Chain A
Amino acid sequence: MTEAGVVAGILWLALAAYAVLAGADFGGGVWDLLATGPRAAGQRRAVAEAMGPVWEANHVWLIFMITGLFTAFPTAFGRLAVALYLPFTIALTGIVLRGAAFAFRGHGRQAVGPASPWGAIFGGASVITPFFLGCAAAAASSGNLATWATPYGFLVGAFAVAICAYLAATYLMVETEGFPLQADFRRRAIGAALASGVLGLSALVLAPALAPSLSHALTGRGLPLVILAVVNGPLALWAVWRSRPRTARVAVVAQVLFVLWAWAVGQWPYLLPPNLTIDAAAAPGGTLNALLVVIVIGMALLLPSLYLLFRVFKGGQDSSPPGGEVAAKLAEGDGVSHERRTGTRRR
């Protein structure tokens, strides 16, 4: 594989990380928007608690991809930026509003509660952003960048929103294990699973007519992964149905990875079908070398830090807070999570 190929592979991996991590954060926003029933406030709080410590780190995968793309593949970046100016700008607006709204709501005073405009903006922007990123993905894979504004683009956009919601609901099932809230997220996960299944299969069936390059990719080298996705889909749904949240989480993540990699592997060695290959779009060798060195050093710092972050907040659900009394005292005013640690979290 050429250097350009290695860099492209890394960028695809970053896209996958962004999809399964930040995708769930957008999905959380969807469930914030759709919070209903007697436990609506609890649903919102679970979303906020789950996202709080990690969403900024998850978001940086996107920045990593953008800078990686314009450093390593300036030609492809230029084409995407010009042809997909509108969907990218809308998605960006969504990203700005979503992040700002979450911070305003989470760290502001009580006045900025879910009922304020920022609450609605948080949810709304969480729907808009993955939708338009999905449209852009459809365009980039279809062989015709104008596809984003066609029914097919919108179909893929809707699929992206549904799969984000699905990811979020399964993650939240894990986070709320042992609480009544888990039942709420189980129902939501089932709904999102069915919606994303229908939308995903429609996109697959319609691809030959509406997105020739994508169809070529998915039925060619990507076929094994497509088959895995089709088999894995019902398995994931079964795990959700039987309330096996940890199994379900793995299965849903696998589902997203199968879909993305079917696309990536299928269209290899093209970066932007039908005619821009990875090697043709690549920057000069000196740049790629230097970028790889930066990526290796960066990852050496990054991966242990990420591991620490997820271990502290997502691992060992039932561990009592280390640091004992002092730490508990520090948590005063930290409101939500403190209350959850000490009060509501009993099996």
Chain B
Amino acid sequence: MGTSLGFHIVFAVLGVGLPALLVIAEGLWLRTGDEVWLGLARRWSRAFAILFAVGAVSGTVLSFELGLLWPRFMAFSGSIIGLPFSAEGFAFFTEAIFLGLYLYGWNRLTPFQHWLTGIPIALSGAASSVFVVMANAWMNSPTGFRLDAAGHLQSVDPLAAALNPSTPTEDPHMLVSAYVVTGFLVAAVYAAGLLRGRVDAHHRRGLAAGMVMATAAILLAGLTGDNSARFIYQGQPAKFAAMEGLYQSQRCAPIHLGGIPLDSQQRVVFAIEIPCALSLLAAFDPNAEVRGLDSFPADARPNPVLVHLSFDTMVGLGTLLGLGSLLFWLVWWRRRGLPRLLLWGLVLAGPASVVAMEAGWFVTEFGRQPWIVYGILRTSEAATSAPALGATFVIFFLIYCVLAMTTASLLLQRRA
């Protein structure tokens, strides 16, 4: 399941971000008549065709796996959070329909009609992400239902479940992250092209388009992420303690930059400590109390090593990417040539943004452990006992490897 998700998420974010770029590029072509924009739109639409197909089928696997691997989870929560899933189904439906029109409609529709069919793809792509993350947000802040004394579901308010307290912070952060990853991946492809000596308008324009999206989105990602972290401080203190590697509850809590949390010593080693900064950031008050891991029973603590390192990876890479994109625009405007070192940096920024996103996903998922539904249902209670699980896992893992390699090679081939 984790593998499927980790795989699917890369295609999913491109499904959110690429259509937006497509609509912009094709729109610019319609306005200016500049063939370079049309060339970019056509390139991206072919890449998108492959990415969307692989994303769609891996998404189908996920929807099945929810039931196959987590029967207890789905039996419990299906009726509560099925609603955003169904809504996502419709968003996805819309996306698939207009994708068909867009990809195969170049010679059946007028250019303006064709451009119009791109808009629902971009909108429904974003909507899918919003709906799916609503379901995940519910796992972090389960609301909208009542249990009786025996733990049976009494009544359900699916709308309240969908609009749970985590939704307003988690959803925007995931959505802008999708644009971050798309922007940097697109930019990386064109930076690589420029490095190989293909210095033309097509590559420069592609690079700039990717970087515009990436820069705008990474700044928003910082804002929404900060907002999200402050919510987690309130709503999921155990996750927050693990993210920050904070063992002891304290006032004037420090921030640990980097370092490795050591359970045996109950502290973070090799970290740069900034005194009181955590309290200040989380509550705007340097003397605010932050709960440490010690305030939770041992069987209700997430693994601080994994969560803290993932969190720092996300924040560290995010900061680097943000600074890097500002640097890029400085160079872009001051002189028209781009130094090779900067291009190499942009090539690396593509994969780095994927790593940052996956690390963020790790934070939210592993930070919630040992719960699958925070405070309600433990992961160990929800998993299936079906046989042959290992074999299924290996087979899907291999299939995903082959698909990922083929997709990558096809996409890169076409650029060449």
Question: Please, which residue of chain A has its CB at the minimum distance from the CB of B58?
Answer: A96
Q: Would you list the 7 A-B pairs with minimal beta carbon distance, nearest first?
A: A71-B82, A103-B53, A283-B79, A298-B90, A331-B107, A74-B78, A81-B67
A75: CB under 8 A from chain B? yes
Pairs across A and B, CB under 8 Å, 19 listed: A52-B103, A53-B101, A53-B104, A53-B105, A60-B96, A63-B60, A63-B63, A66-B64, A67-B82, A71-B85, A77-B78, A89-B68, A95-B61, A102-B53, A108-B410, A111-B413, A118-B406, A330-B107, A334-B106
Interface 9-residue window, one of B156-164, B321-329, B356-364: B156-164
What residues of B have a CB within 8 angstroms of the CB of A343 in the complex? none
B92: CB under 8 A from chain A? yes
Indicate with 1 or 0, residue by residue over B63-99, a CB within 8 angstroms of chain A CB atoms: 1101110010011001110110111111011101111
Interchain CA distance A106-B66 in the complex, whole Å? 30
| A321-B108, A327-B109 known; A67 vs B86 contact (CB < 8 Å) | yes
Indicate with 1 or 0, residue by residue over A92-128, a CB within 8 angstroms of chain B CB atoms: 1101111110111011110110000010000000000
What residues of B have a CB within 8 angstroms of the CB of A334 in the complex? 106-107
- A291 CB to closest chain B CB (Å) equals 6
* A107 lies within 8 A of B86 (CB): no
What residues of B have a CB within 8 angstroms of the CB of A108 in the complex? 50, 410, 413-414
What residues of A have a CB within 8 angstroms of the CB of B59 in the complex? 63
What residues of B have a CB within 8 angstroms of the CB of A78 in the complex? 67, 71, 74-75
B384: CB under 8 A from chain A? yes
| A72-B82, A74-B75, A95-B57 known; A337 vs B90 contact (CB < 8 Å) | no
* A60 lies within 8 A of B109 (CB): no
* B57 lies within 8 A of A100 (CB): yes
- A7 CB to closest chain B CB (Å) equals 10
B199: CB under 8 A from chain A? no
* B108 lies within 8 A of A313 (CB): yes
What residues of B have a CB within 8 angstroms of the CB of A309 in the complex? 97-98, 100-101
A183: CB under 8 A from chain B? no
What residues of A have a CB within 8 angstroms of the CB of B104 in the complex? 52-53, 313, 337
* A338 lies within 8 A of B107 (CB): yes
Docked complex: A59-82 residues within 8 A CB-CB of B: 59-60, 62-64, 66-68, 70-72, 74-75, 77-78, 80-82
* B68 lies within 8 A of A85 (CB): yes
Interchain CA distance A58-B110 in the complex, whole Å? 25
What residues of B have a CB within 8 angstroms of the CB of A341 in the complex? 107
* B50 lies within 8 A of A107 (CB): yes
* B54 lies within 8 A of A100 (CB): yes
Question: Please, which residue of chain B has its CB at the minimum distance from the CB of A55?
Answer: B100
Interchain CA distance A88-B392 in the complex, whole Å? 11
* B82 lies within 8 A of A306 (CB): no
Indicate with 1 or 0, residue by residue over B145-177, a CB within 8 angstroms of chain A CB atoms: 000000001011111000000000000000000
B42: CB under 8 A from chain A? yes
- A309 CB to closest chain B CB (Å) equals 5
- A114 CB to closest chain B CB (Å) equals 16
Docked complex: A312-343 residues within 8 A CB-CB of B: 312-313, 321-323, 326-328, 330-331, 333-334, 337-338, 341
* A71 lies within 8 A of B78 (CB): yes
* A75 lies within 8 A of B75 (CB): yes
B49: CB under 8 A from chain A? yes
What residues of A have a CB within 8 angstroms of the CB of B54 in the complex? 99-100, 103
Docked complex: A158-205 residues within 8 A CB-CB of B: none
From A52, A290, A301, residue with most partner B Cβ within 10 Å: A290
